[in-house]
Amino acid sequence: MKNIYLLKDLAKISGYSTYTLKYYLHLGLLKEIGRSPATNFRYFDDSCYERLKRIRRLQKEKHSLKEIYEQLDKNVD
């Protein structure tokens, strides 16, 4: 069963701030899986969490955000 997260929950489990996650959304590094029609809250799932773990690993390897974007773009989720 897939877990569904709100932005604040994804931030909590990933260790990233909500500000950083919003920035990654803006850059296209992260994509929401949907939005609530009533509240407009963003929804994320386990694949988003796994993507954030890959981003963190690539950052530790000293890749720039542009390089990370290009690398992740090659390996589409």
Tens of pLDDT, residue by residue over 23-58, are: 999 999 999 999 999 999 999 999 999 999 999 999
Q: State the residue range of the domain holding 54.
A: 4-74
Read off the pTM: 0.89
Burial class (CB in 10 A: 0-12, 13-18, 19+), 2: exposed
Q: Give the whole-angstrom CA distance, residue 38 versus residue 28.
A: 24
**E-only strand ranges, 19-69:** 34-35, 42-45
> How many separate domains does the chain show?
1
Q: What is the CATH number of the domain that holds 20?
A: 1.10.1660.10
15, 33, 45, 67 from 10: Cα distances, Å: 8, 13, 9, 23
Confidence of residue 76 (pLDDT cuts 50, 70, 90): low
